[in-house]
């Protein structure tokens, strides 16, 4: 089946780095893979520094389809996130250089979860609205961005998604941006994406900040152990955020 209307090849590059969260990558690629099937002029590629099997943050390894050098100028860039490894990746100059170079050529730049913080570390969020996982949302201003607490946020050619599963929503919106609502709806049907959480929607007023705050602090502290200046700034912001939630609930 194909609804192809153009022969111009469009490359979507999804970035892989050690320790990333698989659903941040695989969720969006489920929707984008449907786009590739419906319209074969789109080519989805998973890119990394080397053609190795990369360990993720669960017992699963993922091997890229291409290296950074093989896909220097994608039309769409997708950056997943993670916990401690995502903060460690903020000091990976090879990765950050790739993000800068690819973003300079891309028509659309996207991220999932703390992938937006990687974009920030690459200097790509200054003056932009963005979102990320709720536990680290308040870190975005450290990279010049305005945090927005939504499932996904569009600011011009920048699309950022909140945590994990929000990447699917963002990717379907991306498909709509690229080829219209009809194709996006076909992709949604193909992925059978019609979520019904067994416990219903989340009550954000009851978000367990006290439980997750120490985890977020450990992600930053461990991931940026070799970069004391940035580590100190981000930990100070997380500490202020935690105090704010405690005071708000008194």
Give the integer Cα–Cα distance in Å for 180 and 132: 25
Q: What angle do CA 60, 133, 145 make, to 5 degrees?
A: 125
Residue 246: the pLDDT is 56
Residue 244: the pLDDT is 72
Query: Per-residue pLDDT tens for 111-136?
Result: 999 999 999 999 999 999 999 999 99
The confidence band for 109, taking pLDDT boundaries of 50, 70 and 90, is: very high
The confidence band for 242, taking pLDDT boundaries of 50, 70 and 90, is: confident
| Range list of H helices, 72-155 | 84-89, 93-105, 115-121
Give the integer Cα–Cα distance in Å for 20 and 3: 33
Give the integer Cα–Cα distance in Å for 211 and 50: 36
Query: What is the rounded average pLDDT of the residues 133-147?
Result: 98
Give the mean pLDDT of the chain: 95
Give the integer Cα–Cα distance in Å for 248 and 250: 6
Q: Assess whether 116 carries a catalytic annotation.
A: no
pLDDT surpasses 60 at 162: yes
pLDDT surpasses 70 at 250: no
Which residue among 76, 113, 125, 153 is the active-site one? 113
């Amino acid at each position: 089946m194909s609804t192809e209307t153009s022969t111009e090849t469009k490359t979507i590059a999804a970035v892989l780095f050690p320790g990333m969260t698989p659903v941040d990558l695989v969720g969006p690629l489920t929707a984008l893979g449907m786009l590739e099937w419906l319209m074969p002029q789109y080519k989805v590629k998973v890119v990394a520094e080397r053609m190795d099997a990369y360990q993720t943050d669960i017992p699963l390894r993922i091997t890229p389809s291409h290296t950074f050098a093989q896909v220097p100028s994608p039309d769409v860039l997708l950056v997943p996130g993670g916990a401690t490894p995502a903060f460690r990746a903020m000091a990976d100059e090879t990765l950050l250089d790739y993000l800068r170079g690819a973003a300079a050529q891309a028509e659309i730049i996207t991220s999932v979860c703390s992938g937006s913080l990687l974009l920030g570390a690459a200097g790509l969020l200054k003056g932009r609205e963005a979102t990320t996982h709720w536990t680290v949302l308040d870190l975005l201003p450290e990279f010049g961005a305005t945090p927005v607490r939504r499932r996904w946020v569009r600011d011009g050619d920048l699309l950022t998604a909140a945590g994990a599963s929000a990447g699917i929503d963002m990717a379907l919106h991306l498909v709509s941006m690229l080829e219209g609502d009809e194709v996006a709806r076909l992709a949604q049907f193909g992925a059978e994406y019609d979520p019904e959480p067994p416990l219903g929607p989340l009550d954000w007023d009851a978000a367990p900040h006290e439980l997750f705050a120490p985890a977020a602090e450990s992600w930053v502290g461990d991931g940026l152990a070799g970069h004391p200046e940035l580590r100190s700034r981000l930990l100070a912001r997380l500490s202020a955020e935690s105090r704010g939630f405690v005071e708000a609930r008194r």
